[in-house]
């Protein structure tokens, strides 16, 4: 694609050439990950949640207030992705692709109804 753009938009083609490795990094993942990598569902869900929460507030007094809210939502989403083993790519499945020592999360603590704690 960069080659097709080069005659008309040299600067954009140069940027695409520089970003090629980062943009195509997902191609080195195992085939079983492809369905989750190609899906935009998590991004669309996050955008919908941001729209819902900011819509509830309506008008923000300062830009920093909106940035803090969206930042908190992103942190919440990050925590959710890290702890839900079945919805997204797990640390264990990604660990096989890394040169770093394997990481595993402890099993979630079970909660019993009526506990006396």
3-31 pLDDT tens trace: 888 888 889 889 989 988 888 887 877 77
- C-alpha 7/C-alpha 9 separation (Å) is 6
Q: Read off the pLDDT band of 90 (50, 70, 90).
A: low
Residue % of the chain over a pLDDT of 70: 70
Please choose, from the candidates 49, 54, 52, the residue with its C-alpha nearest in 3D space to the C-alpha of residue 66: 54
Cα angle vertex 21, ends 18, 27, to 5°?
150
Taking residues 67-95, report their average pLDDT: 76
Please state the domain extents for the chain.
1-30, 39-93
Taking residues 59-85, report their average pLDDT: 84
pLDDT score for 57: 85
Task: Please check the confidence at residue 92 and state whether its pLDDT lies above 70.
Answer: no
- C-alpha 41/C-alpha 43 separation (Å) is 5
- C-alpha 39/C-alpha 17 separation (Å) is 25
Task: Please check the confidence at residue 117 and state whether its pLDDT lies above 50.
Answer: no
């Amino acid at each position: 694609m960069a080659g097709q753009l080069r005659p008309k938009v040299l600067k954009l083609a140069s940027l695409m050439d520089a970003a090629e490795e980062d943009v195509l990094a997902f191609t080195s993942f195992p085939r079983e990950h492809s369905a989750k990598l190609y899906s935009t569902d998590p991004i669309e869900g996050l955008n919908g949640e941001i729209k819902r929460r900011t819509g509830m507030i309506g008008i923000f007094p300062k830009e920093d207030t909106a940035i803090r809210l969206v930042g908190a939502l992103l942190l919440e989403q990050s925590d959710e992705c890290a702890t839900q083993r079945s919805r997204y790519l797990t640390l264990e499945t990604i660990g096989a692709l890394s040169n770093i020592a394997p990481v595993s999360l402890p099993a979630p603590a079970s909660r019993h109804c009526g506990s006396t704690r």
